[in-house]
Amino acid sequence: MSQKGKCSIGVNIEGPPHLQPGSTVEIKPPEFGYQGAWYTASIIQRKTPISSKRFMVQFTHLFQDEKTGKRPVRMFSVSHIRPQLPPLRPRKFKQGEDADAYHKNGWWEGVILQEWNNGNYLFMFHSDNQWPKYVEFGVNQLRLHRTWFNGYWVPPVQESELAVEEVQREQEYNEGDLVEVRNDEDGSNRSWFAAVIVKPVGNKRHLIQYMTLETEDNTDFLEKEVDTSHIRPRPPDIVVPDQFVMLDQVDAFYKGGWWKGVIIKVLSDDSKYHVYLATHCIDGKWTKPSPGVCISKPFSR
């Protein structure tokens, strides 16, 4: 385990390697809203005296001060700390398998309910504090659930499961790149809006300009500073099917963005559809939908 860290103060102590200053670990915070998830952090030092089972840590992504960009040092008991699970290869999952899903900067515990035709999986969170309870995840956002017990992973990590690259290279964006930006203000049915990169602003953030959303006075397109995790490359041009059918899962262009939905009615001229912009789905059935919207074929994908 790496001994490097920006705040690796203190000296080595007796104990497992993952509890040494500078080591990267996973923390399960007991606070409301974070229960049921593991977040990456760095060990700063053990609380004195040496016999103490509490450690000072600094999270990688959580609790960042918006003004200073700094993250506070916090204290956690060893019972809330485990080694960082090594990067693993993407794998196929079976219905009913316990898994972790990467969501809101942490690995959340849950179970695989179903595999979709597009290769994604319907995942149910174990935590009662997480809503929506059911979310669709891609295979790269999932890992087999493991428990750290008595110094070992259960089930154990096999050599064949380890990823070829230890560190996944983050997507880099340059000025002028065409991208899509995620809107996190719509609950589970997050929409993606076309945008262009204006410039990087540091700390994995970029200034972007929307291509469909205007300022309040309608004089220019809206600009916003967003985290890289909210940006994805613009998808390649694809041939739109001649016709969608009932219950096809689609992205529908609505109110300037692309929203996940499902075809619930094919209109008489075969070029327009009623689409439910669903909040979540259970066992393949969409529940609590927003009002259906009418979408023309060229604006679905």
Residue-level pLDDT at 31: 77
Q: Per-residue b/e over 58-88, b at no fewer than 16 CB within 10 Å?
A: bbbebeeeeeeeebebbebeeebbbbbbeeb
The CATH number of domain 177-233 is 3.40.50:
no
CB 228 within 8 A of CB 168: no
Q: CA-CA distance, 197 to 181, in Å (whole number)?
A: 10
Q: What value, to the nearest 5°, has the Cα angle with vertex 205 and ends 223 and 135? A: 90
- Could you tell me which CATH number the domain at 97-161 has? 2.30.30
Q: Verify cis geometry, omega within 30 degrees of 0, for the bond prior to 49.
A: yes
Mean pLDDT of the chain: 77
Q: Let me know the angle formed at the C-alpha of 140 by 212 and 252, rounded to the nearest 5 degrees.
A: 30
| The pLDDT value given to residue 213 | 87
User: Amino acid identity of 183?
Assistant: N
pLDDT in tens, 13-60: 456 888 888 889 999 988 777 778 999 999 988 876 666 788 989 888
pTM metric for this prediction: 0.52
Mean pLDDT of 71-100: 90
What pLDDT was estimated at residue 169?
A: 47
CA geometry: angle 53, 58, 60, nearest 5 deg? 130
- Can you tell me the distance from the alpha carbon of 23 to that of 181, in angstroms, rounded to the nearest whole number? 33
Question: What per-residue confidence (pLDDT) applies to 34?
Answer: 76
Structure confidence at residue 136 (pLDDT): 92
DSSP structure class, residue 71: -
Respond yes or no on whether the N-terminal peptide bond of residue 155 is cis (omega within 30° of 0).
yes
Structure tokens at 135: 């979310």
- Lowest mean per-residue pLDDT among 62-66, 164-168, 202-206, 217-221: 164-168
Domain 17-83: top CATH class: mainly beta
Instruction: Give pLDDT tens digits for 56-82.
Output: 898 887 777 667 667 778 899 999 999
Work out the percent of the chain whose per-residue pLDDT is above 70: 73
What digits encode the pLDDT tens for the residues 121-173? 999 998 877 778 889 999 989 999 999 998 899 999 988 888 754 344 456 78
* pLDDT given at position 229: 81
Would you state the pLDDT for residue 10? 38
Mean pLDDT of 274-282: 55
Instruction: Return d(Cα 160, Cα 154) in angstroms, integer.
Output: 16
